[in-house]
Amino acid sequence: TDFDWGDHNGYKTPAWNEMVVYEMHLGTFNDTAGGGPGNLNKAIERLDYLRLLGINAVQLMPLSEFAWDFSWGYNPAHLFAVESAYGGPQALKEFVKGAHDKGIAVLLDVVYNHLGPSDLDLWRFDGWNQHGKGGIYFYNDRRSKTPWGDTRPDYGRPEVRQFLRDNAMMWLDEFRMDGLRWDSTVNIRTINNGNGGDLSDGWHLMKWINDEINETSPWKISIAEDLQGNAWLTKSTGDGGSGFDAQWAADFVHPLRRAIIARDDASRDCHALS
């Protein structure tokens, strides 16, 4: 069943505005030094550690199949496949169930601003392309450009939008994720990290998927990693926004880092942190 935000084995999960989110890279969270990457089964072994730490939500870094076995995951090659080095789809379902049994929500980092750029079966999928670009799944003009390569999906094509929408809903429905954190939304709504102008197709994609989530699973959260402080990201789609429930605050990390690394209390500015 879906996570109901109630009591789980005596542990009550707080509301979203009380979440303490742990960003987890499965490859290094519980790995063996000098060996292969960590995996979902190894991560399950440390869920009690997270509870004792005070964590009540885990954000998994991207785990769609990527090139090689060692990666942060921001180079997704096959969006619908769970990285084999992490254990595959059944291991992911077991991890989510194990976390839910302990009252820990599970969020997933998804990458829709670019694909690959390597190991892409979608590249020139049917042999066609223009201007040396990627073909039917990708923009074939200047809109293809991202900081990670010319592999931005063509949000203007209904088939490509459906492909990405189906991927988002798969994580939420089949794998029972409690929410999605969208990587670099600034590179969905603009060209070339904001330096190449607005991309209306990207805005429409985000609105469409968030509307679908709110209609089918309104208790699940959508977070934008935009880091530009754009208020329209978290406005409702009815008001012209893109419908995200939250976005990461770009400036929070700086006062937090200064407070953590200060050698003594006199050097800590907790008012700035607050």
What per-residue confidence (pLDDT) applies to 146?
A: 94
Give the mean model confidence (pLDDT) for residues 80-91.
98
**pLDDT at site 194:** 86
What is the DSSP annotation of 97-153?
HHHHHTT-EEEEEE--S---SSS-TTTTTTS--STT---TTB--SGGG-BTTBS--B
pLDDT band at 17 (very low <50, low <70, confident <90, very high): confident
Mean pLDDT within 263-269: 93
pLDDT at 144 over 90: yes
According to the model, what pLDDT value does residue 16 have? 66
pLDDT tops 70 at residue 153:
yes
15, pLDDT greater than 60? yes
What's the pTM? 0.91
Q: Is the pLDDT of residue 62 over 50?
A: yes
- CA atoms of 198 and 193, how far apart (whole Å): 10
Structure tokens at 93: 């379902």
Catalytic residue ranges: 183, 225
- The residue ranking higher by pLDDT, 95 or 10, is 95
pLDDT band at 1 (very low <50, low <70, confident <90, very high): very low
